[in-house]
Amino acid sequence: MPILIPYPAIDPVLLNLGPFAIRWYALAYIAGLLLGWAYAHALVKRASLWGQAPRPDAAAVDDLLVYAAIGVILGGRLGYVLFYNPQFYLQNPLEVFSVWKGGMAFHGGFAGTALAIFILARQRRISVLAITDLCCAVVPIGLFLGRIANFIKPELWGRVTDASVGMIFPGAGPLPRHPSQLYEAGLEGLVIFLLLLGAIRLGALGRPGLVTGLFATLYGAARIACEFFREPDPQLGFLFGGATMGMLLSLPMIALGLFFILRAWREPLARTAKPA
């Protein structure tokens, strides 16, 4: 008989303050942005990590917090609306603004943040790649917290499993499923963060675009791997060949990531940072 792990029923609302509810979902986004901001400050203070490559200053990091927050929220929401449930939102356009009900797409948030970074870099006349490298270095923190919030809600649960261990999620039926949110938190968040940290300590920030390329490639591969355990969105289901929308949207990320890796590696070695 399979071992059924009971779902730890956690109230998605952390605290009620009269008519206002503080939800774990919102706290995950806030904590991800603030912790990412603190980590970005620590990275720009270490000149040895950047070598001769352009390095953002502390003021740029402060601006990045605001720009990234706008890009994540607007891009993530629009990405979900356009790619995952366009028919519903065409019929219920006002629901686009009901972000508290869930419905954010990482790929949309990634695109929104990229656009916000481009605008910020042009306004401050600093290197776009330096900002994208810095941002990609901290993104796994938000991914880890966001997937934990998905687990607490609960949403985006895994596929039905006949493995020796499974979890029954409330609202997902009586069959055991993979806790795919935890798989994604570990692989997309913790593992990628540690791999990028190792690359940064070896001088990756000294090659503009390398951290960006590594993140995009690693995330795309990790997301595709996790999609084999995650239940597809019910309004979409499986696409051709058993692929999911998350898989298809990850393929351009991998291609873009490989492009940035090759581009960065062709830069002159004089721009390479010294290992920390």
Known binding residues are: 147
Contact 169, 181 (CB under 8 A): no
d(CA 181, CA 147): 5
d(CA 176, CA 221): 26
**∠ at Cα 144 (147, 174), nearest 5°?**
25
Give CA separation, 248 vs 196, 206, 223, in Å.
24, 31, 10
d(CA 154, CA 63): 33
d(CA 70, CA 67): 5
